[in-house]
Homo-oligomer: A and B are copies of this chain.
């Protein structure tokens, strides 16, 4: 997606160890017009997909997901990164974060991820795919069908995208980073 790629090249910041920071327009400060444009692009890409629910994970996935849900007029559920003390009836999966070097729980209520749901998962980043695999596990536990996964940015040099596609999952990424070597952002055409 052209507008996103241009923005990544303009405002993305690259750090040692393959770290890309997009705090200026996605992860901390957000550009709502760009968010809406990205949501439009997801709607186009999944136009032929039967969806009844949008799923994301707090916190950076919420903004693109709510925009997709708004355009599609579908409910949006955000999975939580720990088990809330006031919630019962939760499905739980464990996700290892390389960024934070620790395992955390991702949870969703059985009331809002249900058997027969046709789920479009939306998130900001796809890298090694661990969070995405946690979502697959939650959908399996719920008996829900994962009909697609949409990411704003995919790190194409990490394994997550290939693994998910090899599992037969429809994965759409609006920008794919081929390399962050030498602190230079190289985008896939």
| Residues in chain A within 8 A of chain B (CB atoms) | 15, 19, 21, 23-24, 28-33, 35-36, 58-59, 62-63, 66-67, 69-70, 73-78, 80, 85-87, 99-100, 108-109, 111-112
Tally of this chain's copies: 2
Interface SS majority for chain A: mixed
Residues in B with CB closer than 8 Å to A112 are 23-24, 28-29
Residue pair B36, A70 in contact (C-beta under 8 Å): yes
A100–B76 CA distance with the chains assembled, in angstroms: 25
Q: Give the Cβ gap from A146 to chain B, nearest Cβ, in Å.
A: 17
Task: Kindly state the separation between the CA atoms of A77 and B19 in the bound complex, as whole angstroms.
Answer: 21
Instruction: Give 9 closest A-B pairs by Cβ, nearest first.
Output: A58-B59, A32-B70, A32-B69, A29-B112, A62-B62, A63-B66, A59-B59, A30-B76, A29-B77
